[in-house]
Amino acid sequence: MRRRGAVALGVLACAAGFAIDAPAMLRSYLWAWLFALALSLGALANLMVLALTGGAWGETVRPALAAAARALPAVALLFAPVLLGAQLLFPGHDDAGWWQRQPLFTLRALAYLALWSWLAGAWRRAPCAGLAAAGLVIYAFSVSLAAFDWIVALEPGWYSSGFGLVVGVGQMLVAFAFAVAAAYAFGSAACDEAARGRWHDLGNLLLTYVLTWAYLAYTQFLVIWSENLPREIAWYLPRLQTSWVWLGGALVALHFALPLAILLSRVAKRSPALLAALAATLVVAHLADVYWLVMPAFRRDGFALAWSDAAALAGVGAVWAALWNRARRDG
């Protein structure tokens, strides 16, 4: 009953937000929805990686990842408000070339969502290495295209060939971090040597994701800033020359420096409690990262929180949490 009440309140908050100020609510909703998508789509990608690599560590996080991936079709349906309000979110559609015009934008969005939902269903019915290999290729291409349609298009004229990779690795990082935290919260309390070995492996994988994300994000920044072309640096200017830079600094600390410092320690990686706390921090950091990617396009004067952000996160978050909990209980 409490979960149903939370979902009802969250949905009511979203509905009220759309009634009060639809444009502001749409911006916040896009941010919250992209975060929910990262948890589910990144979980599916991690399951496919696990199928190709194997390892006892996978059994520790598999239940949480599987439950998150099962929510993907429902998350796809939650895209409806963004699709209906696309003209308010992406005003550049009217002046863009044929690829970015509204009809093709809608068709591409429906294709991405249908493809991901089908992949999640196919994986649930018959997971195998062949599907995993093909699925990861599909994931890489489709996420890259979707990142341009749903994030880069917020600021027409900007382009980065590495942006899709940054988004995709970020999704896999946050989904894996969530699964690690959930494995500690809902999993076995065993602390024998075998269990500590599995947690050590999870720590190594978290470190790999953190380093990969940081490398891609920094490389993108370095290349664009070195070239110093007005069209390319325009995306970074509001993020580095206004108070948004403080959020960027927090991301460097919480999404990279702090995890790196902790995960270099063998003792830390063999401590389930510490590793779970770090994983939870990474989930919050990625929520902030998505905010940093999306919101400066609308709040160019500097960092600002809005009531609509809380309403959107409450609504989308409550629905996603309910879907995940139900999938986890059903197995």
Query: What's the rounded Cα separation, in Å, for the pair 107 and 13?
Result: 29
The whole-number pLDDT of residue 153 equals: 87
| 256 or 187, which is more confident | 256
Residue 2 binned pLDDT confidence (cut-offs 50, 70, 90): low
The Cα angle at residue 120 between residues 321 and 185, in degrees rounded to 5:
35
Q: What is the pLDDT of residues 278-301, one digit of tens each?
A: 999 999 999 999 999 999 999 988
**Is there a contact between 267 and 188 (Cβ–Cβ < 8 Å)?**
no
Q: Worst-scoring range by mean pLDDT, 17-26, 185-194, 308-317? A: 185-194
Contact between residue 294 and residue 30 where contact means Cβ atoms under 8 Å apart: yes
Q: What is the pLDDT of residues 78-114, one digit of tens each?
A: 999 999 988 888 876 555 566 667 788 889 999 999 9
pLDDT: which is higher, 317 or 2:
317
Residue 1 has pLDDT above 70, yes or no: no
Please report, rounded to a whole number, the percentage of residues in the chain having pLDDT higher than 90: 65
**Predicted local distance difference test score (pLDDT) of residue 120:** 95
Q: Does 138 score more than 90 pLDDT? A: yes
Distance spanning both ends of the chain, measured CA to CA:
20
Do 54 and 311 meet the contact criterion of CB atoms below 8 Å apart?
A: no
Distance of alpha carbon 68 from alpha carbon 56, whole angstroms: 20
Say if residue 48's pLDDT is above 90: yes
